[in-house]
Amino acid sequence: NDLWFVLTNKIDGSLDYLVLNTNATKTDYDSGALTSSTFTNPYAASSNVIAYCFHSVEGYSKFGIYTGNGSTDGPFVYTGFRPAFVMYKRTDVAGSWILLDTQRNPINVSGNQLFPDLTNAEFAGSVMDILSNGFKFRDGSSNNNASGGTYIYMAFAEMPFRYSNAR
């Protein structure tokens, strides 16, 4: 079974990894060297690795963390753009990765969710409002917004504008 690693320093300031195709909590990354151009596979140096490397780009993408409050009036996460795609996961306990997008959720409250670590079909719910400058949770469940829970997220803009040219 191949594992899809997510390596980040966003959770607690130290280097951690999660696995996209499992619901496991974060693990400290202490396997070998990490530079701006190389890293070591946390499980087996002899296995093949495909790496997708992302970073925040103003007006295009945002990566970060948020802390849940357990309320249906959940936290607002500022991205600086209207997200077309948001994926997040609770990091302090085991929980699924959750993906929402504006193609399947064109109006608020968005809730048609996919789970990259599961084989489940799409799940309908009322999770978040996707706003012009970020997203706001409308669900207090453990997977989305548990009180005191720590979550990592990635978001990509619906209409990237930082480098857009007028016509």
Digit-coded pLDDT (tens) for 95-143:
888 999 998 888 888 888 888 888 888 888 888 999 999 999 998 888 8
What is the pLDDT at residue 105? Answer: 82
pTM of the model: 0.80
What CA–CA distance (Å, rounded) separates 156 from 167? 23
What CA–CA distance (Å, rounded) separates 155 from 147? 22
What CA–CA distance (Å, rounded) separates 3 from 1? 6
Q: Percentage helix, strand, coil, to 5, in the chain?
A: 0, 30, 65
SS3 (DSSP) at 70 = coil
